[in-house]
Structure 1
């Protein structure tokens, strides 16, 4: 059979650079899922993406059509034929409807009844129609993305679609998609003179055609690798050290189609400005990579990536130099203006800045932070005076000219100004890092006051928003409360910070002077934070039930919750888990209709068998051990204690009859089982894990 390659390319206006890889991979994984369902096998599948295209290429595919049948049920035998076996009108009408004759008819027997049936062979589309249908299904149902309309038609996509390629080898699949008839034309590099489009003559030659004729590297990962290699080589030639920002690298890979690298320099006098500000301007405004003498010492040079190969670079270099000089002059102006006043002088101006409606001003928030941070001093060791000073100064840089111009640098600016004002290292270092982590995989604060202030600020915002009912719904989270909660969890887990979250939240709510519905607010906040644990363990199949099994909403300790989750994940993957879960199920079923509302009492004098005495002693001993291990957060050892009960309990079930004819003895044995049930629950509610 001739080998076939399928290609689909969606040509669009400029796609969102920061999300290009994620978008492309989502289509790629959907193709894999649906191809499997539709019995289409292939040797390889690839995804390609640039700023103006998303493409999928499937090599050596085969479409297997199974012999599947659709059963068309007819009338019962009793009315299909008369007593002489002559076919009657109901059967004739049914046969006429499906255009069948006597040779096609079969009989179905079910529940002592018989019907006429006809097995109709399922019709399949040919492979070109099938692939067209799959493509439409995938690209039409991308509801997880932010979609837009670009004309008066019903179609929506991430960006306006301008052209579509759909090929099987050389053949065009001319079925409409997004209202457009596919062809073999694609956009080439916009700087190629007198040429806008090129023809892809064969699906398998897609990459080489784009590269040789269109001056475009369509393979995202190849393009990324080339950019990275160019950066490292250029840095090495200039005897410089470079720290490649991976987020920036991904963004630039999505922005350019034919990359090359240049070195740009700026005036050395600007190196007197805070290093983080220069790096921020280079990475976020100019999308460039700063160079260093050593890991910490910044150079007055940087690398920019341009979207073409050219020998005439002087104009580009000159433009970048003008741009960076202009930006750094503005910063220098703002910096000099800001440092004329002390950072602490801005505190009185915070009362004019609203934090949020019904949550007071930034001065009110700062006052709360000064109180809240002290609630953590027993769990995170720090100097209380310095911690309160850091909280006092934490929002003061918001008033500065620099933060007004560059809001993302809040905290970093405050740290520099605090250092310049002679504040102690503990204070200005905490200001620099208390906003961390800002995003996924971001670093965490490192100093004790920084850690405490980060938790304090995040909890204050989270609790405040819940008090006024600004709770995230669906995909909407305008105050980034999910990210804030994940940040809190990350810090607590990484630094093993152990405290009762319920009590802390209650104390913070009281600082807000709220007296009504406190329990309800606490419950909502706790559930919201606990739900963020799914983010950390999303690869675990049973994670929701694991979390449910170990949670006591009245007393949450995030450090302990995480440790229990890890223990339960390992336990459920072990050989012992099945026998413990089966044992728990057996006990639960026996106790199902029993009433233990009143305190249960086990009376040793009612024991009839030596095994009852042994089991009772074993459970008493296990309870004491588990209590100690749980206090020490040694949950693995608690699980081992439960596993050690199995053999004697199994023997108990096999030897002793629970339903004894004497009710007192029966009740006593049920009480033993209830005691075991309560022992199990000290570790987890195992019934969630069946």
Structure 2
């Protein structure tokens, strides 16, 4: 069968840059699903995307479906013929629908009876006849939030479409998609070369486009941009910040990338670099350069979509555009410095945090009180934590943050230092939001940790308290992120805090506003529930997580220590047998309703294996007690692994359910003691082995 490479390209108006990569990947995925559903074999599929095109190239796709035989079952033989053996109307109708007579049908014998059967030979359809529907379906499934219409047509797509190319090797396949008939026409660069050209072969797509100043391969185009940026920065003796989101967006804005260097006046460097960087990245899609000390340079990089004969004109144009934005930032900065953060506290009364939970002023006062309590628990300066908490939201009332919301916190830090606040307090205003995203850095000081925890806890307890729990993917207050932030700060920095106390203290501050009576338990369970995803992402097995989660330790650092202990325990040679034994013990205790802790009566221990087990329980309990106090759970479980032989001997030689009630209860008490020792770390009966 003939196999050729298939090219499908849509030429469009400029596509949304932030959505381009997602659209292109979805198009390729949908095309793959469509071809597979149509039973058209191919080797692999590659997507291409630029501002004015979406394309896929399918390697070695079959020209047509394979022929196949299809079994079409008819009525049961008992219903297909009457008493005289003549075909019934049901049989004749079925035969006609299959283009045969009843006597041409074969029989299918099954355990449930015999049936008429027709084995039909179905010729495979051609790729050309199937492709139009496959492409249409793939496009309809694209994640397009809002489609648009153009001209007089009622056809809708994310942007107007001008060309459609369906090439199978050198053959133009006929088809119509989004109101366009397939042609060989491919649009070139908007400003360079020819406006369009005719493509003769699918394999020439990338090379021909490059001749017309279009790098259609998104990944290759991004690599070109990265290399040009790094080379240009190196020549300037600087370092370029290659933020992936910005790099993705710029890659989606250009078809023929050319990196140029521009500059702005040094006087703007008096403004905190974060505000200038935000302006350059967010508004203009420029790449700031830092010197080797991490300070902002007055030179920046930008990516042009044209290869100008006079790049000076392009550079000057971009310098002219950025200057007013930097001037705005400088004006806001100088204006804001005239009023202290402390003087802005009252203005927080005018901004609502949440209708039932009060204003930002209310939230700031709660954060201050809670941060002070947390500071006492983790052994840091309580006054500094309280001060930072009180000022934590004041920078939201500055001109700079109102104009550039992403610099909240960091501008609070700069303004606090300008006001003469302690550096620890000032830094806490920035670090209160850490970690801002997955993998972000954590607060550096304990005071900052206290404020960051207080802010996140206040939001969690408050929102849960008014019954607005996150549902599905809806989480408007970013409660999941807040919970993960609490876990990362407490676990990675090994802070000696307990969620039950933290949540309880927060609840007390919010109690007059809370209507949900289950708030505290729900918040603790919600935070602990984040552990499952967090550890799974680190490769920890679900049964290990569940073994610890079942004990519900509310100290995050302690939870982490238990996870690490159980992970190591599971690798021990005796672990599988001990897990099975614990499961057996748990079942026996549950079946007999044993939950209270009874003392073991040594005079009732008559069998040698039960005496040995009782002795080992006493000895090992003495060994693990100091280890438990140090939360050295790995060592605790290593000690408990010594039980392996004595437990086996006990179950092999001792009848737990003895006829003598006192003896039976004594043996159950022995098993309960054993079980409780393991449960001090985790429920290892939940560990699973293949």
- TM norm structure 1: 0.85
Distance in 2 of aligned mates of 1:146 and 1:572: 47
Q: Classify the secondary structure of the residue corresponding to 1:512.
A: helix
Q: Classify the secondary structure of the residue corresponding to 1:355.
A: strand
Shift of 1:509: 1.4
Q: How does 1:201-600 map to 2 (within 5 A)?
A: 201-213=200-212, 215-514=213-512, 520-537=518-535, 539=537, 547-552=545-550, 555-565=553-563, 579=577, 582-587=580-585, 593-597=591-595, 599=597
Give deviations 1:376-433, integer Å, cap 9, x for gaps: 1244332222222222222222222222222221222221122122222212222232
Shift of 1:51: 2.8
Shift of 1:679: 4.7
Give deviations 1:122-178, integer Å, cap 9, x for gaps: 856555566666655554445xx4522324999876656555444332344545555
Distance in 2 of aligned mates of 1:171 and 1:510: 74
Distance in 2 of aligned mates of 1:473 and 1:164: 42
Shift of 1:191: 1.6
Q: How does 1:629-644 map to 2 (within 5 A)?
A: 629-641=627-639, 643-644=641-642
Shift of 1:367: 1.0
Shift of 1:50: 2.1
- Go from structure 1 to structure 2 and tell me whether the alpha carbon gap of 1:348 and 1:79 turns closer, same or farther (over 3 Å shift): closer
Distance in 2 of aligned mates of 1:183 and 1:644: 77
Q: Who is 1:72 aligned against?
A: 73
8 A contact 2:4–2:59 mirrored in 1: yes
Q: Who is 2:106 aligned against?
A: 105
- Go from structure 1 to structure 2 and tell me whether the alpha carbon gap of 1:560 and 1:37 turns closer, same or farther (over 3 Å shift): farther
Distance in 2 of aligned mates of 1:174 and 1:287: 41
Q: Could you tell which deviates more after superposition, 491-500 or 512-521?
A: 512-521
Give deviations 1:465-487, integer Å, cap 9, x for gaps: 22223333333332222222232
Distance in 2 of aligned mates of 1:570 and 1:119: 62
Q: Classify the secondary structure of the residue corresponding to 2:117.
A: strand
8 A contact 1:501–1:555 mirrored in 2: no
Structure 1: tracts of 5 or more residues without a match: none
Shift of 1:260: 0.4
8 A contact 1:346–1:396 mirrored in 2: yes
Q: Who is 1:191 aligned against?
A: 191
8 A contact 1:148–1:156 mirrored in 2: no
8 A contact 1:526–1:553 mirrored in 2: no
Structure 2: tracts of 5 or more residues without a match: none
Distance in 1 of aligned mates of 2:584 and 2:33: 39
Shift of 1:226: 0.9
Q: Who is 1:168 aligned against?
A: 168
Q: How does 1:91-130 map to 2 (within 5 A)?
A: 92-93=91-92, 98=98, 99=100, 105-110=106-111, 113-116=112-115, 118=117, 120=119, 125-127=125-127
Give deviations 1:246-289, integer Å, cap 9, x for gaps: 33222211222111011111112222222222222222222112
8 A contact 2:462–2:514 mirrored in 1: no
- Go from structure 1 to structure 2 and tell me whether the alpha carbon gap of 1:54 and 1:425 turns closer, same or farther (over 3 Å shift): same
Q: Could you tell which deviates more after superposition, 598-607 or 200-209?
A: 598-607
Q: Classify the secondary structure of the residue corresponding to 1:4.
A: strand
8 A contact 1:271–1:300 mirrored in 2: yes
Distance in 2 of aligned mates of 1:174 and 1:639: 70
Q: Classify the secondary structure of the residue corresponding to 2:511.
A: coil
8 A contact 1:493–1:558 mirrored in 2: yes
Distance in 2 of aligned mates of 1:249 and 1:255: 10
Distance in 1 of aligned mates of 2:476 and 2:198: 45
Distance in 2 of aligned mates of 1:130 and 1:650: 66
8 A contact 2:4–2:168 mirrored in 1: yes
Distance in 2 of aligned mates of 1:620 and 1:82: 85
Shift of 1:224: 1.2
- Go from structure 1 to structure 2 and tell me whether the alpha carbon gap of 1:648 and 1:555 turns closer, same or farther (over 3 Å shift): closer
Give deviations 1:534-593, integer Å, cap 9, x for gaps: 543455799666544422586522233344445556666887665555545555555664
User: Number of residues paired by the alignment?
Assistant: 682
Q: Classify the secondary structure of the residue corresponding to 1:435.
A: coil
8 A contact 2:414–2:426 mirrored in 1: yes
Distance in 1 of aligned mates of 2:116 and 2:585: 49
8 A contact 2:579–2:685 mirrored in 1: yes
Distance in 2 of aligned mates of 1:34 and 1:647: 59
Distance in 1 of aligned mates of 2:342 and 2:333: 16
Give deviations 1:69-128, integer Å, cap 9, x for gaps: 65736426x6667999x5764884565655475675344343xx5333637468565555
Shift of 1:311: 1.9
Q: Classify the secondary structure of the residue corresponding to 1:17.
A: coil
8 A contact 1:506–1:518 mirrored in 2: no
8 A contact 2:597–2:669 mirrored in 1: no
8 A contact 1:240–1:293 mirrored in 2: yes
8 A contact 1:79–1:90 mirrored in 2: no
- Go from structure 1 to structure 2 and tell me whether the alpha carbon gap of 1:141 and 1:688 turns closer, same or farther (over 3 Å shift): farther
Distance in 1 of aligned mates of 2:661 and 2:340: 82
Q: Classify the secondary structure of the residue corresponding to 2:525.
A: helix
Q: Classify the secondary structure of the residue corresponding to 2:456.
A: helix
Give deviations 1:316-337, integer Å, cap 9, x for gaps: 2222222222122222222222
8 A contact 1:509–1:518 mirrored in 2: no
Shift of 1:660: 5.0
Give deviations 1:220-247, integer Å, cap 9, x for gaps: 2211111111112222223333333333
Q: Classify the secondary structure of the residue corresponding to 1:115.
A: strand
Q: Who is 1:60 aligned against?
A: 60
8 A contact 2:185–2:198 mirrored in 1: yes
- Go from structure 1 to structure 2 and tell me whether the alpha carbon gap of 1:353 and 1:583 turns closer, same or farther (over 3 Å shift): same
Q: Classify the secondary structure of the residue corresponding to 2:259.
A: strand
Distance in 2 of aligned mates of 1:509 and 1:254: 47
Distance in 1 of aligned mates of 2:28 and 2:633: 41
Distance in 2 of aligned mates of 1:573 and 1:448: 36
Distance in 2 of aligned mates of 1:191 and 1:452: 56
- Go from structure 1 to structure 2 and tell me whether the alpha carbon gap of 1:20 and 1:382 turns closer, same or farther (over 3 Å shift): farther
8 A contact 2:569–2:638 mirrored in 1: no
Distance in 2 of aligned mates of 1:27 and 1:651: 63
